[in-house]
Amino acid sequence: MGIRFILMVNKQGQTRLAQYYEWLTLEERRALEGEIVRKCLARTEQQCSFVEHRNYKIVYRRYASLFFLVGVDNDENELAILEFIHLLVETMDRHFGNVCELDIMFHLEKAHFMLEEMVMNGCIVETSKSNILSPIQLMEKMS
Amino acid sequence: MGRWRSPFFADMIRSIRACKTAAEERAVVRKECAAIRAAINENDQDYRHRNLAKLMFIHMLGYPTHFGQMECLKSIASAGFPEKRIGYLGLMLLLDERQEVLMLVTNSLKQDLNHTNQYIVGLALCALGNICSAEMARDLAPEVERLLQFRDPNIRKKAALCSIRIIKKVPDLAENFINPAAALLKEKHHGVLITGIQLVTDICKVSTEALEFFRKPKCLDGLVKTLRDVVNSPYAPEYDIAGITDPFLHIRLLKLLHVLGQGDADASDCMNDILAQVATKTESNKNAGNAILYECVETIMSIEDNGGLRVLAINILGRFLSNRDNNIRYVALNMLMKAITVDAQAVQRHRATILECVKDLDASIRKRALELVYLLVNESNVKPLTKELIDYLEISDQEFKGDLTAKICSMVEKFSPDKIWYIDQMLKVLSEAGNFVKDEVWHALIVVISNASDLHGYTVRALYRAVQTSIEQIVLMFLHQESLVRVAIWCIGEYGDMLVNNVGVLNIEDPITVTESDAVDVVEIAIKHHSSDITTKAMAMVALLKLSSRFPSCSERIRDIIVQNKGSLVLELQQRSIEFNSIVEKHQNIRSTLVERMPVLDEATFSGRRAGSLPATVSTSSGTSLNLPNGVAKPAAAPLVDLLDLSSDDAPVPSSSGNDFLQDLLGVDVSPASVQPGTSQAPKAGTDVLLDLLSIGSPPVQNNSTPSDILSSSQDNKSSVAILDGLSPAPSGGAASMIDLLDGFVPNSPKPEDNGPAYPSIVAFESSSLILTFNFSKPPGNPQTTLIQATFTNLSPNVYTDFVFQAAVPKFLQLHLDPASGNTLPASGNGSITQTLRVTNSQHGKKPLVMRTRIAYKLNNRDVLEEGQINNFPRDL
């Protein structure tokens, strides 16, 4: 299992999506999110996209006002995770059309369903955008 | 109805977004939760979907939502796909690992895994893959195994990942999955392939049988071929990233090869060609390509040795290291740390570049680079590396100085070729970043200085110079270089004469003229400066006392400085001031003995004691920061005990009483040393002071005990207070009685202590049948010794035979037992046994006697043992 959690956070530091692949209590989550957000949001564009925190490595990437932060094990390939974040964003873009913070907020379940098609139990499920989106679009057509 | 209807999901989000404060947000959430609970209670099915969506949002904000779990179960149990979908999502997000909820859901999962609608099967697989427990794994493994062969690839890929969770929870099940997993490797569908590869990787990690199976050429060749196909595949728009087809699949394949090749030469051999191809052919101008190269290097470094490939890998890392993209440099540093165990020479070639990375603007890169440099240090390069790092220390960020200082100190200590270099480097570090230096580091420095007898003069002059050069910026100095000042003060105190008389000048030194009064100036500044903490001031006080003897001409001036602290609010200083003043003023005859140079500190003892805390300095790297708060007494204080308290048990000191006395003085410094300026020291100082009083009380002449003994014998405050009570029976001020004590140890003014046996008898032990009484007397002229006549009386109707009395006392007491008058104790009080005990109290007048007793006898041939502690001795024994 490589990915331990995925967070989407706006530039004010508010969590907009949180998916954990290991169990943490609510208090632990709040504390962890606070610490990570403080650490990552303070960094400049020139600095690298990796931050070591506790026993995690955080790979993060900023898209407009939204930060995507992925916590991984220490032996995970950081560059691949960076690429994965981009894939995630592209997939969401394709579905929502230029995804923004509000899309994720108002369609939180949908964002989760998309994520479900991409990551399960911390492992990558699928890397083809159309394969990821087809079940979701199918369901939309039906309802 | 009067029921407050829960507004739509979007409305809730809007109202939450509109909140300006956290309190407002809490209020909105509370209201929403109340409405959702009400809906749950009414079993409102129309709004269930919407309520669950709201709960997920509320959960994400960090509010408790456990009450929604059962709602998820209901939703899962309903027939429709949308209800099930939101139910499973809610389950995965809101679940709090409560086993009973998991048990309830197992049944629904089982039904859904066997559902005719493949989308519902997909939902169940996904949920199971994320939340499955060991119990569920056992129950549902057969279903999942079957689904690995399902007709739709979207189900197969999810079943593969679900299997990973199952074998992680129950490794015994791994063998069942070997064959189905092997079948997945032959698939063409990328999703199935990538999940199948991950499954095989995880099976190999838990089962050696599987590892052997997949290492066989028939499997391995297939994998190599798959990788080759992916590498050479024509443009595939759906999987293309920057001209590379599915880099994620590349990377997973390389990871699996890593697992299979590690520790198996044949398997490693099979994959050489393809690894070489990946390493040479992959485009490195985009992140995706670099991610593959990075993984390829990792695999090459892990599999069995192939010189050519390793050269290729190290070259890739070299390229990475000089890349301008910080991400690439970061992973290069990360990988070089692993490469160092494989090929240290190759990594050493990049030393200069790595050293530059230590100075990078990016904290993540600096941290990695520093750790790498630390691994690169050896005897041959320690000098240039240390120089570079110390130079950089001067200009580095404040927050990086701590890490950097710890690493420099650690490498200087580990690899220093000689003592003079060690001392030089440490002085530089102390001058640059004194306040980032951990206590044990400067303690160690003092031990080394103490042992380098030929360098005493050199060191004290160098320290004097270091302190002098920054004396203009004295404010700054004391803020940042407290430990430099402490070491300097200690050395000036010990070796002040060498400073003034230029003893042992090395030919590398510039000549320096220091007068006695110059040396005293430095110490005076330290003791008077407002930002110096207690430890520094206390050390300065001791240094002054020592200098008062070394520099007779300054004796008057020193006394004045000492006296100024008589009114110090810090009890420690106040007390020392009074004592030292008394020594300077009244005890010229013993002063020079008292302040003799400290004997060489035992390095072995110090490093032995320190061993426990040493790894801390070395491994500050590992994520957990080991910056113990300075107030934490244990690690910080322990080395100090070693350092200053010479009379530790394992290093007996064959020294004069004067030295013993000083040790006590110094030993006392232990406690305040752990209190740093700025930390709240009120409660701590309280106990410290008690301990101080206790240890200063020990008369030097007969001092068998050590300060640490005293400390340990009075662990809790209560007992030390009790001892204190006994210490100053007269209501005179503590300080005054201290003077008395000091006066008391002038040989020709003995205290009138030899009064007669005016001590009342006590009942030392009493049970229903046995009474032990003590009568006391004092031999004339020896106030420390007490003769105790013990009388045992047996009140029971039975005779006690084989009667033996034993006693034990703490270290500050000496006990001698004379033979008893007999070993049979007659019944019914018709006679008694008497026995004489002689106790010598080295803490006479300070501590009362205390004794543990053990009485053994036979009653009707049965062994009886009675134990007790005697605390009710008369005071002043």
Runs of H (alpha helix) within B170-245: 174-184, 190-206, 208-215, 217-232
Q: Which of B151-155, B336-340, B362-366, B601-605 has the highest mean pLDDT?
A: B151-155
**Which residue of A lies nearest to B60 if distances are taken between CA atoms?**
A18
Phi/psi at B866 (5° precision): -125, 130
d(C-alpha A79, C-alpha B503), whole Å? 61
Q: Quick one: what percent of chain B has pLDDT higher than 70?
A: 80
Give the SS3 label for residue B862: strand
- Cβ-Cβ contacts under 8 Å, A18 against chain B: 60
d(C-alpha A121, C-alpha B753), whole Å? 81
pLDDT in tens, B258-274: 999 999 999 999 999 99
Minimal CA separation from B248 to chain A, in Å: 7
Of B63, B96, B623, the CB nearest to A54: B623
Name the pLDDT band for A1 (thresholds 50, 70, 90).
low
d(C-alpha A117, C-alpha B154), whole Å? 9
pLDDT of residue A123: 95
Residue matched to tokens 């106030």:
B783
pLDDT in tens, B291-329: 999 999 999 999 997 778 988 998 899 999 989 899 999
- On whether the CB atoms of residues B173 and B203 are closer than 8 A, the answer is no
- On whether the CB atoms of residues B666 and B542 are closer than 8 A, the answer is yes
Per-domain boundaries in chain A: 3-142
Other C-beta atoms closer than 10 Å to the C-beta of B635 total: 18
Whether the CA torsion B279, B281, B286, B287 is positive or negative: it is negative
- On whether the CB atoms of residues A90 and A133 are closer than 8 A, the answer is no
Q: Does B566 score more than 90 pLDDT?
A: no
Which carries the bigger pLDDT value, residue B749 or residue A47?
A47
Contact check, Cβ <8 Å, B62/A30: yes
pLDDT of residue B621: 35
Q: Quick one: DSSP state of residue B825?
A: B
Phi/psi at B822 (5° precision): 180, 175
Contact check, Cβ <8 Å, B64/A19: no
Give the SS3 label for residue A124: strand
- On whether the CB atoms of residues B158 and B129 are closer than 8 A, the answer is yes
Averaged pLDDT score across all residues of chain B: 79
How many Cα atoms are found within 13 Å in the side-chain-facing hemisphere of B594? 28
Residue matched to tokens 């894939």:
A87
- On whether the CB atoms of residues A50 and A78 are closer than 8 A, the answer is yes
| Residue among B231, B152, B141 at smallest CA distance from B189 | B152
Contact check, Cβ <8 Å, B157/A83: no
Q: Does A69 score more than 90 pLDDT?
A: yes
d(C-alpha B525, C-alpha B474), whole Å? 9
Contact check, Cβ <8 Å, B60/A15: yes
- Cβ-Cβ contacts under 8 Å, B329 against chain A: 48
pLDDT of residue B610: 59
What is the side-by-side strand order in the sheet with B770-777?
B762-766, B770-777, B785-794, B832-841, B813-817
Minimal CA separation from A111 to chain B, in Å: 11
**In the CATH hierarchy, which fold is given to the domain comprising A3-142?**
Beta-Lactamase (3.30.450)
Phi/psi at B800 (5° precision): -100, 125
- Cβ-Cβ contacts under 8 Å, B191 against chain A: 125-128, 131
Contact check, Cβ <8 Å, B327/A82: yes
- On whether the CB atoms of residues B230 and B247 are closer than 8 A, the answer is no
Q: What angle do CA B149, B155, B159 make, to 5 degrees?
A: 70
Which carries the bigger pLDDT value, residue B601 or residue B531?
B601
Chosen for mutation from A127, A130, A136, A142 (greatest number of chain B CBs closer than 10 Å) is A127
d(C-alpha B438, C-alpha B676), whole Å? 12
Phi/psi at B832 (5° precision): -155, 170
Q: Which of A32-46, B603-617, B766-780 has the highest mean pLDDT?
A: A32-46
Q: What is the CA radius of gyration of chain A?
A: 15
> Looking at the DSSP assignment, which residues form a beta bridge with residue B851?
B870
Which string of DSSP letters, residue by residue, matches B251-262?
HHHHHHHHHHHT
Give the SS3 label for residue B842: coil
| Residue among B275, B274, B284 at smallest CA distance from B310 | B275
d(C-alpha B768, C-alpha B56), whole Å? 71
Q: Quick one: what percent of chain B has pLDDT higher than 90?
A: 31
pLDDT of residue B582: 87
Contact check, Cβ <8 Å, B53/A108: yes
The per-residue b/e assignment along B792-808, b for 16 or more CB within 10 angstroms, e otherwise, is: bbbeeeebbeebebebe
Please report the domains of chain B, with CATH numbers, ordered by start residue: 1-68 (no CATH), 515-744 (no CATH), 762-870 (2.60.40.1230)
Pairing state between β B813-817 and B800-808: unpaired
Average pLDDT over residues B83-96: 90
Which structure tokens are listed for B447? 């031990």
d(C-alpha B353, C-alpha B134), whole Å? 49
Lowest mean pLDDT among B60-74, B322-336, B350-364, B684-698: B684-698
Contact check, Cβ <8 Å, A112/B56: yes
Q: Does B742 score more than 60 pLDDT?
A: no
Residue at B19: amino acid letter: C
Which structure tokens are listed for B487? 């070491």
Q: Quick one: DSSP state of residue B359?
A: T
Q: Does B762 score more than 90 pLDDT?
A: no
Element (H, E) at B838: strand B832-841
- On whether the CB atoms of residues B482 and B525 are closer than 8 A, the answer is no
Which carries the bigger pLDDT value, residue B242 or residue B44?
B242
pLDDT in tens, B641-669: 333 433 334 433 343 333 343 344 444 33
Lowest mean pLDDT among A33-37, B774-778, B845-849: B845-849
d(C-alpha B97, C-alpha B28), whole Å? 27
- Cβ-Cβ contacts under 8 Å, A17 against chain B: 60
Q: Does B97 score more than 70 pLDDT?
A: no
Other C-beta atoms closer than 10 Å to the C-beta of B179 total: 11
pLDDT of residue B691: 38
pLDDT in tens, B201-224: 999 999 999 999 999 999 999 999
pLDDT in tens, B384-412: 999 988 888 888 888 788 888 888 888 88
Runs of H (alpha helix) within B95-117: 99-113
Q: Does B713 score more than 70 pLDDT?
A: no
pLDDT in tens, A89-141: 999 999 999 899 999 999 999 999 999 999 999 999 999 999 999 989 988 88
Residue B14 vs residues A52, A53, A97, A105, B9: alpha-carbon distances, Å = 35, 33, 21, 10, 9
Give the SS3 label for residue B550: helix
- On whether the CB atoms of residues A78 and B330 are closer than 8 A, the answer is yes
Of B122, B198, B331, the CB nearest to A78: B331
Phi/psi at B93 (5° precision): -85, -40
ipTM: 0.96
Other C-beta atoms closer than 10 Å to the C-beta of B782 total: 13
Q: Does B255 score more than 90 pLDDT?
A: yes
Contact check, Cβ <8 Å, B122/A23: no
Of B63, B287, B331, the CB nearest to A83: B287
Rounded to 10 degrees, what is the CA torsion of B335, B337, B339, B342? -160
**Residue B341: burial class (beta carbons within 10 Å; 0-12, 13-18, 19+):** exposed
Name the pLDDT band for B799 (thresholds 50, 70, 90).
confident
Residue B722, C-beta contacts closer than 8 angstroms, at least 6 positions apart: none
Which structure tokens are listed for B90? 């809610």
**Which residue of B lies nearest to A143 if distances are taken between CA atoms?**
B82
**Which residue of B lies nearest to A4 if distances are taken between CA atoms?**
B130
pLDDT in tens, B574-623: 988 988 888 888 887 788 788 888 888 877 777 766 554 443 333 333 33
- On whether the CB atoms of residues A72 and A4 are closer than 8 A, the answer is yes
d(C-alpha B171, C-alpha B708), whole Å? 53
Residue at A87: amino acid letter: L
Rounded to 10 degrees, what is the CA torsion of B297, B300, B306, B312? -10
Q: What angle do CA B456, B460, B463 make, to 5 degrees?
A: 140
Of B60, B249, B327, the CB nearest to A50: B327
Runs of H (alpha helix) within B42-117: 48-60, 69-77, 81-94, 99-113
Q: Which of B106-120, B336-350, B751-765 has the highest mean pLDDT?
A: B106-120
Q: What region, left, alpha or beta, does residue B699 occupy, with left being phi > 0 and alpha being psi -120 to 50 degrees? A: beta
**Which residue of A lies nearest to B163 if distances are taken between CA atoms?**
A121
Residue B644, C-beta contacts closer than 8 angstroms, at least 6 positions apart: B663, B666, B667, B669, B670
Rounded to 10°, the helix B326-342/B351-358 angle is 130
Which structure tokens are listed for B443? 């303690």
Element (H, E) at B682: helix B682-696
Rounded to 10°, the helix B247-261/A78-96 angle is 150
